[in-house]
Amino acid sequence: MSDTASKVTLVAWDELPMERLSPQLGRKLISGEQVMIAHVYLDKDCIVPRHQHHNEQITYILKGCLRFWIGEDESEVVDVHEGEVLHIPSNVWHKAQALEDTLDVDIFSPPRQDWLDKTDDYLRR
């Protein structure tokens, strides 16, 4: 591969615009061809409705705490605190609620096309 075929990109989170999905939920995205990373900003009590996607997901909490309900019946409950990481395999149903103001890093592979296209209506309520 030649140097011109591959470009390295440096991005500062502070320079990215905040995308407001609802009064309690915002995000900033960086996407490559095979992976996406996002800063997700959730105010206390913000709920991310139950959903699933084919993308593998890793959630790392930088600040705050998220409670996840896992499974179609939401029978497994997991609290993810600052400094902790949750791995969600492809096609696993999940829902989340911010137990306090929270900043999380979500990593998806492959990138979430619905986030890039802004067709993620379940978040835009």
Indicate the domain borders of the chain. 28-123
Amino acid at 82: E
Q: What is the pLDDT of residue 85?
A: 98
Q: Distances in Å between the alpha carbon of 17 and those of 12, 28, 56?
A: 11, 7, 25
Flag whether the pTM goes above 0.85. yes
CA-to-CA distance for 98 and 41, rounded, in angstroms?
Answer: 10
Closest CA to 67 of 83, 76, 86, 80: 80
- Residues 94/52, Cβ–Cβ less than 8 Å: yes
Per-residue pLDDT tens for 75-91?
999 999 999 999 999 99
Q: What is the pLDDT of residue 68?
A: 98
Q: What is the pLDDT of residue 83?
A: 98
- Determine what percent of the chain is predicted with pLDDT higher than 90: 93
Question: 28-123, which class in CATH?
Answer: mainly beta
Per-residue pLDDT tens for 40-71?
999 999 999 999 999 999 999 999 999 999 99
- Residues 27/21, Cβ–Cβ less than 8 Å: yes
N-term to C-term CA, the chain: 44
